[in-house]
Amino acid sequence: MTDRFTTADAAELYGVPYWSNGYFHIGKDGRLRVTLRDEEANVALLEVIDDLKQGGRALPLILRFPQILENRLTRLNDAFNEAIGKFEYQSHYQGVYPIKVNQRRVVVETIAEYGARYKTGLEAGSKAELALCLVQDTHPEALLCCNGFKDDDFIRLALWGRRLGKNVVLTLEKYSELERVLRLSREVGVRPAIGVRFKLHARGSGQWEDSGGDDAKFGLNATEVIGVVRRLQELGLIDTLIMLHCHVGSQVTDIRKIRNAVREAAQTYVELQELGARLRYLNVGGGLAVDYDGSKTTFHASANYGLQEYADTVVYEILDTCNETATPHPVVVTESGRALTAHHAVIVLPVIDAIGPTREPMALPPLPEEPHSLVGDMQELLETASIKNYREVYHDAVGNKETMHSLFDLGYLSLVERAHIEHLYNRVLAKIRRIIKDLDYVPEEFENLPRLLADKYVCNFSVFQSLPDHWAIGALFPIVPLDRLNERPTRDTTLVDISCDSDGKVSKFVDLRDVKDTLSLHELNGEPYYLGVFLTGAYQDVLANTHNLFGRVNEAHLRLTGVGSYELTRFVSGQKARRVIENMGYEAPELREWLKQDIREAQAQGSLGEEEAESVLELYSNELIGYTYLEQV
């Protein structure tokens, strides 16, 4: 039995094999590596960061791996093709990527271009998104679905898209959109291709349960869907209705919910065909979940199924439902966004400082000759705390600390004595934390202790910009140091960002069995220490906000070319301060003018010299064109 900490221990501790889907692993040297094609191409993220820093690139930054996007597309299509072969399904699969999940250029372009071999389509939920989707290099048969509420111009643009040879489908989200679509297609002179979103009774599970169900925001109910079929029959346009669409919400954690939803959708498809519709596509929407904590459960950060089980379930339920009535099998469409994009992006955060109650303080000031007796009382508690009496010791320590505050407020205790008592108190708690670590049962009042005593590792980033879903809805992401993974981490930590908002923190972490309140990290040793936040490629990039005026971060696009080798294909600079400031309605030249006025006034009063005036102006101007994150730390 040795007490050595190995990379296998680190893999367990951070759950890397469970959530990484094979895209990340820990190398023998204790460095986290990104991997493609069964190890043929992999590189240590730390080396990438070092290279980027050598090239003058500032952190925090996002590393993007378009090859992972490509691999996700391949795996998704392979899974559906396998299901189709296995069940002898009599049609094919065609995925659609809903770009709202991440509209970044490299993401959309990679999916459109690489996805052309699978006829992968795109889904737009607004006019601006449609403008992006229309001009991508997709396969001519790829679907271009227009979801969301629409005005005339949205519909017009979609219809013109058909005239330009794109397979654009207008999904009706509410009944009144039908007449608009019909009127505008006469105007544009094109036969529309119509989809209809059906409000399923089935619901998803987890955070986005309300996207489905009878009270969902989008979709038509049974009466309205029948109304669409009848109206189109009347007009002799029934063949323009080609797609039935539904969507029960994102991150559906339970495969049974998927099965119920697909069953209901397939049954609706069959019924509509019997009413005389001639649908060709059955679109079951998004919801394919990402297992962020790797626990394979129905917890909101997980999923109790994998990609193949998802594909099998969707294909089988449609097949089984259609076969009962000998209805020809539709083209299977899914709109998986999260599962395609989450893995491709890693946010790298530098840890710039550590603060916390149990860290060795700078030398304590010497105690007075005869310190207050509370100091001695605390010292005694520290010495006598044991497994037998830790609860009494804890209660006494808390009591002493309260007394200390009262005495201090009344002037009976000096600041120096207070410093000693606080320090002793923290040491008592730390000792109790060590004692309870080995206990099978920890009384409830001690559950918070690890969190209270944890270090706060200060990271150069903003939660609001880089992990908005963690702040907004408590989404969890795996976080792992990029190096020293063959060395035992000795500090319990939570992370705080550099925004001036107490919500700017990460204090919930993924765990196989639970959610962790602290993250084990290494003691800082003077060398740069970086954390990777993984699975951040879906939604985080685009829900970001500039709270405190921290802007978009730098990003590097990388292609792996072999073992230890990679190519930096693109570097996209993050927002300059000027950009985020101007978003708030200011103009940079105007700001400079205002500063110049202040400078002139100070000079007039003789409080600022000529050279100093130039220095201030230069610093200010450089700040406007600088990165919004900390640069000299």
Calpha distance 158→317 (Å, rounded):
32
Name the site residues for ligand PLP (rule: CB under 6 A).
98, 100-101, 147, 247, 250-251, 285-288, 335-339
What ranges in 560-632 are assigned the alpha helix state H?
Answer: 577-582, 588-604, 610-624
Q: Per the structure block, which two tokens stand in for 380?
A: 């005694």
Calpha distance 478→19 (Å, rounded):
8
Q: Is 136 in contact with 143 (CB distance < 8 Å)? A: no
Tokens 């600022």 belong to residue: 608
Could you tell me how many residues make up the chain? 633
Residue type, 514: D
What's the closest the beta carbon of residue 219 comes to ligand PLP, in angstroms? 10
What's the closest the beta carbon of residue 334 comes to ligand PLP, in angstroms? 8
Calpha distance 113→106 (Å, rounded):
10
CA dist 219 to 1, 146, 149, 184, 286, Å? 61, 13, 10, 21, 15
Cβ proximity to ligand PLP: between 446 and 477 the closer is: 477
Biggest CA–CA distance in the chain, Å, is: 101
Strand order of the β-sheet with 167-172 is 96-98, 121-124, 143-146, 167-172, 194-197, 241-245, 281-283, 331-333
What's the closest the beta carbon of residue 335 comes to ligand PLP, in angstroms? 4
Cβ proximity to ligand PLP: between 142 and 339 the closer is: 339
Q: Per the structure block, which two tokens stand in for 85?
A: 């072969």
CA dist 247 to 138, 220, 303, 498, Å? 23, 12, 17, 38
Calpha distance 66→91 (Å, rounded):
30
Q: Which residues of 476-503 are buried (b: 16+ CB within 10 A; e: fewer)?
A: bbbbbbbbbbbbebebbbbbbbbbeeee
**Closest alpha carbon to 147 in 166, 133, 137, 164:** 133
Cβ proximity to ligand PLP: between 336 and 462 the closer is: 336
Name the phi and psi angles at 579, rounded to 5.
-65, -45
